[in-house]
Amino acid sequence: MTKTQKKRKLRLKYPKKDHPKLDIGGVNFRIVDISQSGCKFMTKDQFSPKPRELFTVRIHFFGHKTYETKGVIIRYVGDLFAMEFRNKIPAQILMDEYDRLIETYGTAIFK
């Protein structure tokens, strides 16, 4: 791979009414977008993690797929948090989600 080539990353953005859930300690949050290495999620209640605090998280996708990993908050603005995963989500899980979004909405977003 040359310096000018970049690996294409899949980042899925979800509509408000159709999104996976991020479970942190039994509390579910709405995932706004997700990639293999992290996600952005919204909180409604006060959520105050310690700096670089490591969480065990479960991501509940549609079709009863669940992926468990560890993640750390890397930034936040208001109620929008960004989390980095310690172990990448397998690409096949995200491709299945991509296919589901295309079938349901006729579109999905690469970024």
* CATH code of the domain covering residue 43: 2.40.10.430
Q: Is residue 71 part of a domain?
A: yes
Alpha-carbon distances, residue 26 vs 21, 23, 31, 39, 58 (angstroms):
11, 6, 15, 18, 9
Residue 107 pLDDT: 77
Per-residue pLDDT tens digits for 15-33: 878 889 999 999 999 999 9
Average pLDDT for the chain: 86
Burial of 26 (0-12, 13-18, 19+ CB in 10 A): exposed
Amino acid at 17: K
Q: Is residue 16 part of a domain?
A: yes
Per-residue pLDDT tens digits for 40-75: 999 987 778 877 889 999 999 987 789 999 999 999
Q: Is residue 38 part of a domain?
A: yes
How do strand 27-35 and strand 38-42 relate by DSSP bridges? antiparallel
Q: Is residue 65 part of a domain?
A: yes
Q: Is residue 1 part of a domain?
A: no
Q: Domain count for the chain, please give it.
A: 1
**What is the span of the domain harbouring residue 79?**
11-105
What pairs with residue 71 in β-bridges? 55, 85
Q: Is residue 110 part of a domain?
A: no
Higher pLDDT, 6 or 100: 100
